Structure 1
Amino acid sequence: MASLRKLKEIERDFSKKHIDISKVGFYDSVAFMREEHSNPSYLNNYAKYIHLKKYDSTYLSMVREKVPFIANLLFKELKKDGRLGACVDMSAILSRILEEEGIWNHMVFGSLSIDYPPESQLKGGHFWCVDYTKGATAAHAWLVVPPYQIVDLTIKLQPYSEGQNQYLPDILLSEDVKPYTPVAKDLINPKIIYDLQREGIKDVINHTLPQFKAFNSIFPAVSTVYSYSSLHYIPTSVSAPDAPFEQAVNLKLNGRYGYNIYVDIIKPALKEQGF
């Protein structure tokens, strides 16, 4: 009942602001962008709406068929191209492709911690939001595509140096997640934690990411497992593609931008499969 009340509250707010919620990707509407201009965190409401929205069984069956098919095609293009660390760009392009197919989704930025299986003899892997090389920013990006709580096409294709990718999936599509309580080392480079603690700062998360705890209460961290590797996804913000799909030039794989990949490769393949 609580989730239903929250959904109705969000829908009333959209209605009050004359935002049409009938179409996937309505964050692109003039009315929504007008509100977002005065309230930069307003995109959170789009993400919350997607989390709370009720989906019927026909829709969910369609998503479970289409999303893995599309994800595999896009992953093959990325692997063929050879680009590593393309999480933000790939998530943005996949988000747009899914919107074209009428599939609700939103982008997530955040940290990722990985516990590898003991036999790997690998230390835990971390994509820190707070690091020396980049300050406080997005360390990793993925999608929420109900019923999938995590859709990650780039987890394996990162610049690993110790063979970590052999313990990771090509594509992560996870409905089965568990709550995860993040600690400082999930978000912040331990060297920074050490330096801050030496300065007498005890709550290093609040010091470096002052909005995180409030955000985490709405968009909590989750864990999933792949072949004995535990993957902890810790959202720190939600995002959305910042250009119309046809104009997006953030990702070019094998000579094609994202929209051309969709038109030339994915859309014909979907048609061939009878989608």
Structure 2
Amino acid sequence: MNLIIIAIVLILVVGLIAGVLLSYASKVFAVKEDQLFLDLRAELPGANCGGCGYAGCDDYAHALANKNAAEPVPCTKCAVGGPAVAAKLAATLGTTAGDVERQVSFVACNGTKENAKPLYEYSGRVESCAAAKTLFGGSKECPYGCIGLGDCVNACEFDAIHLCDGVAVVNPDVCTACGKCIKTCPQHLISLKPVSEKVFVQCSNKDLGKAAMAVCKTSCIACRMCERTCQHDAVHVVDNVAVIDPAKCIGCGECAAKCPKHAILDLAKKA
């Protein structure tokens, strides 16, 4: 019995000594955090989405706090926090954020089940756009359109994008512009747009008119009606698909009204 008690006492003493030594070592070898970094990190939302281009909120805060950087890192990169966080970061840094407009993701495709012709019925074990793309470019005849199996939906942590009739659709009220859907889409159909923009081309098909019409009812056919209609030189056909210049577009929606295939979306009229 005495031996057992002695063993227990020895273990407790060794544990106590080890605890004291570890506590002392943690203080001696502690790496002091930059107070500026801590203040900046406290203003970030902690989503760690990577939308800013950095590994996470900590990495972005370190970059902002780096006074030896060749060029200062903009405080407007946090898409999740938006203008409010940008203003707080700027105040912490002693600068101004400037005008920051919230952005949201937009899917340049309207190839719904009704509009786009199916090529085959995908029944893989994994519902994946990336997997389906390896089979003849996707399950729809249009090789440029949304495959519609939800890789972007699975990537979004904010429940901001859903499949509607075979096409990914973004909810702008929920989207944080983190960019994960953009990186995930194997068709490269998703991009960020300022919320003030209301006129978009909902097609990415680069085939000429007859070939485009053969695969989708609402495909841009490069007829250039939008070019002829626009009085502000804001829309041009590039690689057989209409492209809108947001710097020139005034949002009148005339191009959308005149498009014979309804490939241009006017959110102002839709609302």
TM-score, normalising length: structure 1: 0.25
More helix by percentage: 1
* Higher percent of residues as strand: 1
Greater C-alpha Rg? 2
More contact order relative to length (CA 8 Å, sep ≥ 6):
1
Give the TM-score taking structure 2 as reference length. 0.25
